[in-house]
Amino acid sequence: MRPPKIRDIIWFIMTPQEWAGLIATIIGIVGSVGIVLRWILKKYVEEIMVELKPNSGSSMKDQVTRLEAKVDKLYDAILVHLEDHANK
């Protein structure tokens, strides 16, 4: 006769109430982890969204806008310079 496997022993030892308790515990743990992850992701997204809205100079959006204006000025200056040298 072969020795019994662990899963056979556990199945017969646990009562339906114990199985229900185990399943409820697993669902509770998974739910808690899900709630914590959702809260963490929400906080990170809120921080990122704050940076993407203009707020009088210190946000990433304001910095990109200033850089864009400077690049436009440099582009215009380069075009004027190239036109001057092409006409000479």
- Sign of the alpha-carbon dihedral angle for 33, 38, 39, 44: positive
pLDDT band at 8 (very low <50, low <70, confident <90, very high): low
pLDDT tens figures, 44-71:
998 888 877 778 877 888 888 899 999 9
Distance of CA 46 to the CA centre of its chain: 10
Domain spans of the chain, in order of start: 16-51, 55-88
Q: What is the pLDDT of residue 2?
A: 75
How large is the average pLDDT for residues 23-28?
97
